[in-house]
Amino acid sequence: MALPTAEYVKIVEELFEKVRKFTYVGKHMQRWDAIEKILGKARFTADYANLYKNLVYVYSVRTKYAHARIRKIDVSEAEKVPGVLKVITHKDIPGVNDVGYVIPDQPLLAYNKVRYIGDIIALIVAEDPYIAEEAAEKVYVDYEPLPVILDPLEIVDPVTLEEKKHVLIHDERESDVVARYRIRTGDVKKGFEQAEVIVENEYRTPYVEHAYMEPEAALAIPEPDGGITVIASTQCPYEARRAIAKVLAMPFNKIRVAVPPLGGGFGGKEDVANEIGTKAALASLLTGRPAIAVHKREESVIGHSKRHPAIMWYKHGATRDGKLVAVEARIILDTGAYASLGPFVAWRATVHSVGPYKVPNAKVDTVAVYTNGIYAGAFRGFGNPQIHFAVEQQMDLLAEELGMDPVEFRLKNVLRNGDRTVHGQLLDHGVGLEEALIKAAKAADWYRKRAEYAKQTGTIRKGIGVALLWHGNSIGAEGADYSAVSIIINRDGSITFRTGLIDMGQGAIQGLIMLAAEVLGVPPEYFRVEMPDTASVPDAGPTVASRSTAMGGNATLVAAYKLRKKLNEVAADLLKCDPDDIEIRAPEVYCRRDPTKKIRWIDLVEECFWRGVSLQEYGYYRAPKAKWEDETGHGEPYFTYTFGAIIAEVTVDMETGKTYVERMVTAYDIGRVVNRVGAELHAEGGAIQGLGYALMEELVHSPEGKVWNPNLYAYYMPTILDIPKEIIPVFVEAGYIRGPFGAKGLGEPSINGIAPAIANAIANAVGVRIKSLPMTPEKVYLGLKRKGLIKL
């Protein structure tokens, strides 16, 4: 039996069809929190320390070995240090000793073994942070060291992907394979028989650090009823609440999680509050005092998830006339010591593994494995920056073999309206990929430059490269996909906006206000965004997966639409005109056909109050159900995709191997631009972060599993000296019927295509193809030397 279409779906579709002219949506507007931030008044989590007296400080004693059995933990000496109130070990945990996100594989406090260098043995709770750190030296642990495995190829065979015999990292699971996914479409054997050109290569990408400027922090306050309030830097207040409640053995309603502004997140603050929030909560519970935990940078680097290193083997086949006929791939993701979001990352990588192209025959196998490295999880792009680095170089190599222009070759294969994806998903509308590529090529003056750069001599060479990208919006078949907001129009006409979605700098909340303002007819400055707090805001799902604008936006439309309907009805009754004729332009409300019939906004709100018309609305939106068949990888994994085309221009100094990115054009089909400033900042910020991924970033483990560069002096990332002169954002608005006014997400897609575009530009400049990230001067230089292109 078909269920009736939900009201919220009808609202979103109706607004998509009806509204064509916008007052706020798509305009350049100042963020709601810009003033408090520019004044230095914005209160980040660690700043809350000043608001509480009698604080205790939590310090994490971490393991000295990356892989070892624990024979004994002795904290008696540490407990005797004056000023130490409590030393917490696994024995003190009232509930379940686990903070894993997808799989319960991650103890908060180690008990029988340690699996990577960040594992925590004990928590010192002291009157002062210096005392806590000093007492940590007095925690004695008897370890039995085990072999440290850092190469995923020691876990699985690179060809069969079968698990090899090795010392198990997760003995309790009896396997170190975390997840496997596959795609089986058509017949690859036949596909390759039809292929006239075939390219086959291995690509590698490293561990990468989010390096958000604000290290993680959490402050826990004991409540009179025995509950705990936790102020924490997290992208997911409701998920953090679940994790904390589980460890403390408390019902969800006794844990309250409030989230101040985040100093960046990029996915790294998706699950880390499960850990740091719980540490503070536990200390608070056991001492009865407010407890604060703040990670130093070195702790942050080893204490939160990383981008998955990947080993990817790709074989592509095409016909002489430039049609892709087959793709075969094996993808190995190293999820480090714990799963974190690893299984979902592996799934997303699999879904997108052939790129945004029509591929009739595909065979893809992905495996995510444990090692003794830092655990890998969510990081902007979520598996996609890795696979795009491989796929988009493969596309260029095919074009080269075919003697075709890389843009022209891609245009023969891109997904268009009416095409089916490799999973068999019909994309019947809203695919703006071709338009994005054509616009990017035009903005970058592609054809002229490509021809011009072919004639270069000398040791300073310019190059131009292209990459396409796609990114499924929201969480898809990973889990329950819903969002919610509440909008309250107060009696003075001001508006309170509440959602469990977080602002980590990305600007999504500004987009939501602009959407609400558009529907209500009330300027954004009437709105106040309340701090996300499980005590007041609705559960909006996690702030991840580029879902805030699309999913939160729809929930916002629903709430605003319901309010607008009531306001129109009351106004129509007062002004004696039709409800559809009511125009709200706060502070004025009038009849469109006769604007002399008008009342003030504040009077309309007051009238609603006296008539008992509630102006407090809740908006809920549930995504269309995703489908995924495990055996074939067929279905509808995501309800829609963001598409894009990146063109990068570089200069390569052949004598040093150094690459300078001069200019980038980033063209994205995001359905509809909502928060234009935010979209432009994503285009720029994603490009700069992607440039770091491309050219300089790599977190390196020593053979013993320690981290060689856990601070910002040794972890190289882009400074203002490394950026291009220009990043030109281009937006295509192809419109997706179930996005708010057609909008799709841009948070993550903005990094997917950057590294491969730069790789292709380097190859265009100097004829050297770098198949592993980062593309350092050494790699480029050695590549030139190997090919005899430089004699030095």
Question: Which parts of this chain interact with other proteins (CB under 8 A)?
Answer: 28, 30-31, 33-35, 37-44, 46-47, 49-50, 81-83, 130-131, 134, 210-215, 261-264, 266, 296-297, 504-507, 525, 677, 680-681, 684-689, 711-713, 717-721, 723, 726-727
Question: Across the strands, what pairs with 715?
Answer: none
CB of 680 to other proteins, least distance (A): 8
Nearer to other proteins among residue 317 and residue 753 (C-beta): 753
CB of 709 to other proteins, least distance (A): 12
Q: What does 176-206 look like in DSSP terms, one character per residue?
A: SEEEEEEEEES-HHHHHHH-SEEEEEEEEE-
CB of 213 to other proteins, least distance (A): 4
Nearer to other proteins among residue 247 and residue 751 (C-beta): 751
How far apart (Å, rounded) are the C-alpha atoms in residues 759 and 772?
Answer: 10
DSSP 707: B
Can you tell me which residue has the tokens 């074989």? 315
- 672, 742 contact by CB (below 8 A): yes
How far apart (Å, rounded) are the C-alpha atoms in residues 536 and 513?
Answer: 18
- 15, 7 contact by CB (below 8 A): no
CB of 231 to other proteins, least distance (A): 14
Nearer to other proteins among residue 48 and residue 357 (C-beta): 48
Nearer to other proteins among residue 234 and residue 554 (C-beta): 234
How far apart (Å, rounded) are the C-alpha atoms in residues 87 and 72?
Answer: 15
Can you tell me which residue has the tokens 């009342």? 599
CB of 404 to other proteins, least distance (A): 34
CB of 39 to other proteins, least distance (A): 7
Nearer to other proteins among residue 353 and residue 675 (C-beta): 675
Nearer to other proteins among residue 574 and residue 717 (C-beta): 717
Question: Across the strands, what pairs with 185?
Answer: 362
CB of 682 to other proteins, least distance (A): 9
Nearer to other proteins among residue 206 and residue 724 (C-beta): 724
How far apart (Å, rounded) are the C-alpha atoms in residues 459 and 655?
Answer: 7
Q: What does 412-425 look like in DSSP terms, one character per residue?
A: TTB--TTEE-TT--
Residue 495: φ, ψ to 5°: -125, 135
CB of 388 to other proteins, least distance (A): 19
CB of 117 to other proteins, least distance (A): 19
How far apart (Å, rounded) are the C-alpha atoms in residues 541 and 661?
Answer: 37
How far apart (Å, rounded) are the C-alpha atoms in residues 169 and 525?
Answer: 54
How far apart (Å, rounded) are the C-alpha atoms in residues 707 and 346?
Answer: 24
CB of 89 to other proteins, least distance (A): 21
Enumerate residues 6+ apart whose C-beta is below 8 A from 214. 44, 45, 46, 233, 262, 263, 264
End-to-end CA distance of the chain: 74
Nearer to other proteins among residue 39 and residue 159 (C-beta): 39
Nearer to other proteins among residue 134 and residue 606 (C-beta): 134
CB of 745 to other proteins, least distance (A): 16
In degrees, rounded to 5, the angle at the alpha carbon of residue 356 between the alpha carbons of residues 393 and 678 is: 95
Nearer to other proteins among residue 326 and residue 707 (C-beta): 707
Nearer to other proteins among residue 262 and residue 520 (C-beta): 262
| 56-62 vs 291-294, strand pairing mode | parallel
- 257, 534 contact by CB (below 8 A): yes
- 696, 716 contact by CB (below 8 A): yes
CB of 549 to other proteins, least distance (A): 15
**What is the distance, to the nearest Å, from the Cα of residue 592 to the centroid of all Cα atoms in its chain?**
43
Nearer to other proteins among residue 46 and residue 784 (C-beta): 46
Instruction: Collapse the DSSP code of 477 into the 3-class scheme (helix H, G, I; strand E, B; otherwise coil) and give the result.
Output: helix
How far apart (Å, rounded) are the C-alpha atoms in residues 175 and 172?
Answer: 8
> Considering only CA atoms, which of 391, 376, 382 is closest in space to residue 308?
376
How far apart (Å, rounded) are the C-alpha atoms in residues 497 and 543?
Answer: 16
Question: Across the strands, what pairs with 369?
Answer: 177, 334
CB of 34 to other proteins, least distance (A): 5
Nearer to other proteins among residue 66 and residue 647 (C-beta): 647
Half-sphere exposure of 493 (CA within 13 A, CB side): 18
Q: Which two tokens stand for residue 674?
A: 């909502």
CB of 380 to other proteins, least distance (A): 10
How far apart (Å, rounded) are the C-alpha atoms in residues 33 and 112?
Answer: 46
**One-letter amino acid for residue 333 of the chain:** L
Residue 454: φ, ψ to 5°: -70, -15
Nearer to other proteins among residue 685 and residue 742 (C-beta): 685
Nearer to other proteins among residue 422 and residue 664 (C-beta): 664
Q: Which helix (H) or strand (E) holds 10?
A: helix 7-18
Nearer to other proteins among residue 525 and residue 655 (C-beta): 525
CB of 725 to other proteins, least distance (A): 9
Nearer to other proteins among residue 113 and residue 676 (C-beta): 676
CB of 138 to other proteins, least distance (A): 11
Greatest Cα-to-Cα distance within the chain, rounded to the nearest angstrom: 86
Kindly provide the b/e burial profile for residues 527-536, where b requires at least 16 CB atoms within 10 angstroms of the residue's own CB: bebebbbbee
| 255-258 vs 228-232, strand pairing mode | parallel
Nearer to other proteins among residue 168 and residue 712 (C-beta): 712
Q: From residue 465, give the alpha-carbon distance in Å to each of 65, 408, 769.
A: 44, 13, 12
Residue 405: φ, ψ to 5°: -70, 135
CB of 54 to other proteins, least distance (A): 14
> Considering only CA atoms, which of 746, 623, 762 is closest in space to residue 691?
762
How far apart (Å, rounded) are the C-alpha atoms in residues 678 and 689?
Answer: 16
CB of 576 to other proteins, least distance (A): 36
